[in-house]
Amino acid sequence: MGVAVVVAAGVVAAVVATSGSGGGTGDVPKAGGRGAGGSASAPAKAAAPPPNVGDVVVGSDDKSVTITHPDGTTATVRLSAWPGAMYTVPAGARGAGTVYVLPGFAQPGIEPADEHKVSRITPAGELADIPMPGAVTTAAVAPADAPGAGTLYAGVRPGPGEPGWIEAVGPDGTVRKYDAGVEPCSVVVAPAGAPNAGTVYVTNCGTPTVDHPETRTGGSFTVITPQGTVRQLPAAGQSVGALVVAPAGTPNAGTVYALLTGEETADRVMTVLRPDGTTATVPLPAAPLLALVAPAGTPDAGTVYVSGTPSAGSAPPVVAYGPTGKIRTLVAGYVKAVAPAGTPAAGTLYVEQNVDATHDKLVAVAPSGATQTLIAQVDGVDTLEVEVAPAGTPGAGTLYVVAYAANGMRVHVIPPSGGGSVVDLPDGKTGITVAPAGGPNAGWAYVVNVNGDTGAERGSLTVITPAGGITTTGPGVAPDDVLIVPAAGVGVSDQVL
């Protein structure tokens, strides 16, 4: 997975994925947006932030979660399963700051039952396991001020190819079950302020074919309203993957966009699920791979940017699909991030392009799509992540670009004024996230690195402050996911790639 998601003020992103904590090169998941407004009534008072705001939560391969507090102290919570994706309960909901930990992929033949639970860690560090009737494949948390705020919606399947369902775990511990087709593989919840706020959208991966298990048929959608009504919709192609939803405050707030994962011509489409229940199919030049939604408060708010699956090693053009259905073709490459509102380059789209076998470059595309500017040439065969420091933080708009380098990993730190610095890390896998506004560590970048050169993976946590300070702790046991508890919105972990 890409950058940590904050479902309250930022960019919504999706990467085609089928199970576990998701993932895939370039996943830059941020989500959210403010309410659309328009009412003469007084604005609602902002909810108090969670008591553990700013905590950095890292899941590791030794079945543990390490929590680093903003003051530098740490705590370790031991689990009975490998940790996977993590989610927080938002401010304003019961249990705000609680962290849900999904199980990671179970090792073949080793404790397979570990997949059948979700762990819950309170802000005080107390652990409880929630039993699940099958393998947990995906999840989402309902945002604050939406019906069911703080509810965890977990996708569950009892066995490969068998009918699955959604287990809804309320903040009070109550559990409800909803049928959800064959193997739920992606879940989103419509944001507060949207016409369909609190509605749950699920993609069902479909049934693997006998000869080619990686190919699936019979993908579909499940829609669950806040009243509990369940509706099944067929997919336009053979298999459905990730979902992305337009945030509140955009013209198309609550509209859901589904990426198809097949390689046939029929799968080169994006399905649009509107809040009023109508649907549309958008043709694309290639099967969709990545998608971002421009956040509220930016010039192209609500526009969906889609990257396609490469052909013969070349990336197809990025497609921009506007809230009214207008389609534009932009530069070739892979979408990485959109600068959020309140930053100097708000609405700018950042796209990775390949230069040659050992170099990438990052270009900035203006909201109009008419211009592109070279931001940086990266020494590496792959630009894994691009993170933009959010508004309201020191260094807002600073770019953090993570890529493979000749002898390890490299983080390019590029402030809005230009120039910048480079932080070198050992070879291996890296994940990065920037603490959002509202916490004591706002604007601090946290880089998790896994170095496997010694035969046993070891990990470290590097902190880059807006002032340029760099500290590294470790080595420790190899981390898999990292999460920062936000002051507002739902936090979602970033998977180490």
Encoded amino acid at 112, one letter: P
Q: What angle do CA 427, 432, 436 make, to 5 degrees?
A: 165
First to last CA, the chain: 7
Encoded amino acid at 126, one letter: E
The DSSP letter of residue 271 is: E
Mean pLDDT of 184-190: 91
pLDDT at position 46: 72
Select the more confidently predicted residue: 268 or 343. 343
Q: For 452-460, which contacts have Cβ atoms below 8 Å and span 24 or more sequence positions?
A: 452/428, 452/478, 453/426, 453/427, 453/428, 457/61, 457/428, 459/60, 460/425, 460/426
Those residues with Cβ within 8 angstroms of residue 313's Cβ, 6 or more apart along the chain or in another chain? none
Contact call for residues 304 and 348 (beta carbons, < 8 A): no
Instruction: Tell me if residue 185 falls in helix, strand or coil.
Output: strand
Q: How far is residue 494's CA from residue 431's CA, in Å, rounded to a whole number?
A: 6
Burial class (CB in 10 A: 0-12, 13-18, 19+), 226: middle
Mean pLDDT of 38-49: 53
pLDDT at position 161: 60
Counting Cα atoms < 13 Å in the Cβ hemisphere of 392 gives: 15
Indicate whether 174 pLDDT > 60.
Answer: yes
The residue written with tokens 């702790």 in the block is 473
- Say whether the peptide bond before residue 29 is cis (omega within 30 degrees of 0): no
Contact call for residues 244 and 12 (beta carbons, < 8 A): yes
Those residues with Cβ within 8 angstroms of residue 286's Cβ, 6 or more apart along the chain or in another chain? 268, 308, 309, 310, 311, 316
E strand spans, 315-444: 317-321, 327-332, 334-338, 349-356, 359-365, 372-379, 383-388, 399-405, 408-414, 421-425, 429-434
Counting Cα atoms < 13 Å in the Cβ hemisphere of 352 gives: 31
Select the more confidently predicted residue: 232 or 293. 293
pLDDT single digits (tens) 366-422: 987 766 777 766 665 567 789 999 999 999 999 998 887 767 788 889 998 888 888
Indicate whether 478 pLDDT > 90.
Answer: no
CATH number at residue 115: 2.140.10
Residue 133: inside a domain, yes or no? yes
- pLDDT, the chain, mean: 80
Residue 487: inside a domain, yes or no? yes
DSSP H/E element including 186 = strand 184-189
Indicate whether 17 pLDDT > 50.
Answer: no
Q: Domain of 203?
A: 5-37+52-495
DSSP code per residue over 420-451: -EEEEE-SSEEEEEEPPTTSTTTT-EEEEEEE
Residue 47: inside a domain, yes or no? no
pLDDT at position 292: 94
Mean pLDDT of 256-267: 70
pLDDT confidence bin for 148, thresholds 50/70/90: very high
pLDDT confidence bin for 266, thresholds 50/70/90: low
pLDDT at position 30: 29
Instruction: Tell me if residue 472 falls in helix, strand or coil.
Output: strand
Residue 93: inside a domain, yes or no? yes
pLDDT single digits (tens) 211-226: 655 555 667 889 999 9
Q: How far is residue 143's CA from residue 90's CA, in Å, rounded to a whole number?
A: 6
Indicate whether 18 pLDDT > 60.
Answer: no
* Token duo for residue 241: 């993957």
How many independent structural domains does the chain possess? 1
Residue 351: inside a domain, yes or no? yes
E strand spans, 39-82: 56-60, 64-68, 74-78
Residue 43: inside a domain, yes or no? no
Distance of CA 49 to the CA centre of its chain: 21
Residue 45: inside a domain, yes or no? no
pLDDT at position 397: 95
Instruction: Tell me if residue 265 falls in helix, strand or coil.
Output: helix
Burial class (CB in 10 A: 0-12, 13-18, 19+), 159: exposed
For 114, phi then psi, to 5°, come to: -60, -20
pLDDT single digits (tens) 58-115: 988 788 899 989 888 899 999 988 888 999 999 999 999 999 999 886 443 444 445 6
Q: How far is residue 334's CA from residue 354's CA, in Å, rounded to a whole number?
A: 9
pLDDT at position 237: 57
pLDDT at position 23: 30
Indicate whether 291 pLDDT > 90.
Answer: yes
Contact call for residues 496 and 431 (beta carbons, < 8 A): yes
pLDDT at position 14: 60
Residue 46: inside a domain, yes or no? no
Minimum mean pLDDT range among 150-164, 176-190, 467-481:
467-481
Nearest Cα residue to 103 out of 83, 78, 129, 86: 83
pLDDT at position 420: 84
- What's the maximum distance between 2 C-alpha atoms anywhere in the chain? 63
The residue written with tokens 């903003």 in the block is 70
Percent of the chain's residues with pLDDT above 90: 43
Contact call for residues 463 and 443 (beta carbons, < 8 A): no
Select the more confidently predicted residue: 485 or 448. 485
Contact call for residues 233 and 282 (beta carbons, < 8 A): no
